[in-house]
Amino acid sequence: MPKENSLLNATTIRHDWQIDEIMQFFNLPLLDLIFLAQKVHRNHFEPNQVQLSSLLNIKTGGCSEDCAYCSQSKRFDTDTSDQALMSVEDIVNAAKKAKEKGSSRFCMGTAWRSPKKAIDFAQILDIIKAVKALDLETCMTLGMLTEEQAQQLKIAGLDYYNHNLDTSPDYYKKIVSTHSYQDRLNTLNHIRNAGLKMCCGGIIGMGETIEDRAALLQNLANLPIHPESVPINQLIPIEGTPLGKIAKIDTFDIVGCIATARILMPTSYVRLSAGRTEMSDELQALCFLAGANSVFYGEKLLTTDNPNVEQDQSLFKRLGLQII
């Protein structure tokens, strides 16, 4: 087990992590890694609390990009049907229901490379204002942004912007060809410059190596300010996408990834995201022990299923987790 003085100081927030340091965490016996992560978690958070975010796909399909994991790309033959941008009224009704069921943050996604049409972006600003009026935190994922668009979102009242790095810079080239890793980093810079909070994480199980996972977390942890939310997604293979038949990863891989993310980004909410339908209650409990303290809540993510509300509420009660 690494000497804690050399690798782990629970009171220090670092932005200079090296790959060899991160790999030492990944190479630990899993229970030792969880032990370290739990110590960090308890130094920065109440250990038995979980934050709930609901996610609604407000514009579905027809995306120009070729992200190999995504059913919403128009380049792939999937069962996902295109849907135009939802009305403000329908989105507000969905947000009200999410709040009634316990969500404190309402996240909204669109299948866009970036917002192009002025009329669509104007409606997005109206949506943010309307959801914010419900006393909910607001989060949007609209693809790549310009600096001006990020500033307009902030003025409208947006709290968080989601823009995942997905994987390592090297492996990203095998997952997406229609935009670059730097394009994503540029959007992250615009988000921060506008004063928005950041939701930024990745996906594991796309065929990447452990070193790729370490590099993903390195890029997240070495940002000038750590993302306030770090979603860790497990790939859900979707028929018709290039990754539709990829083999499933070991069930403990996501636990190790969450634990390492918790150590590298001690004050971030680490969100257990896509893939929970494939997890037992016991595996999810292990993820919470490893430092996850947020989940996507509600029966649907963007285009994939999620545990139902009653199932989650039962799990939280059995684990003694308080919803915040």
Instruction: List residues with catalytic annotation.
Output: 63, 67, 70, 107, 139, 199, 271
Give the helix/strand (H/E) hosting 50: strand 49-59
Q: Where are the alpha helices (DSSP H) in the chain?
A: 4-7, 19-26, 30-44, 88-100, 118-132, 147-156, 169-175, 181-193, 210-221, 253-264, 281-289, 309-319
d(CA 314, CA 294): 16
Q: Which residues contact 165 (CB under 8 A, 6 or more apart)?
A: 172, 181, 184, 185, 200, 201, 202, 216, 219, 220
Query: For the residues of 136-160, what is the DSSP string, one character each?
Result: -EEEEE-SS--HHHHHHHHHHT--E
d(CA 266, CA 308): 29
Query: How distant, in Å, are the alpha carbons of 34, 199, 211, 310 from that of 102?
Result: 28, 20, 37, 11
d(CA 237, CA 26): 24
Residue 137 neighbours by CB distance under 10 Å: 17
